[in-house]
Amino acid sequence: MSVDTSAAVRSQEENWQPVLELAVEEVFEIMVGCRVKPAPISEPKPNGEFTAMIGLAGSLCGVLTVGCDAQTARQLAKGMLGDIVSSKDQVSDALGEICNMVAGNFKNKLTGMDGRCLLSVPTVISGGEYQFRSLAAGNVLDVCVLFEGAPVAVRLELHG
């Protein structure tokens, strides 16, 4: 017999904003060696020249994205890899890994989700002429932090 856990998941989602914020802070501190702080509401959102995404499937279904401009993505890669960053591929790989770590850290903080929620391989889109739109028609959690003064947007969109 299968048990529908969607109602229980929905009732917990309202408490997940601080969990996502903590996951973002921890990943930046561990992976990039930098403490980030929440961006003020008045801070413009990043222009999205780089967007990394991870799909979630199982008890949680949706997508987690991390977006920033090209200069910020390069600085993040340098924070992870040092001054050896020499290619757009390295920048994309670093942003994809940050997205992966945030998604995994968030998932692991949720009681009972670890084995019941799977993550996809990271995908990174770059360039200035694209729009990202998720078909997840559920709740959205947004976290925007400042990394070296530049905004980095993290968004978790869950299927309803």
Mean pLDDT of the chain: 86
- pLDDT for the residue numbered 123: 95
119 close to 104: Cβ distance less than 8 angstroms: yes
Domains of the chain as residue ranges with CATH: 6-158 (3.40.1550.10)
Count Cα neighbours of 93 within 13 Å in the Cβ-side half-sphere: 9
Is 23 a residue whose pLDDT tops 60? yes
pTM over 0.75: yes
Mean pLDDT of 137-149: 90
Residue 13 pLDDT class (50, 70, 90 cuts): low
DSSP E strands in 11-149: the ranges are 37-38, 50-58, 62-68, 117-119, 123-126, 140-147
The encoded tokens of residue 158 equal 């869950």
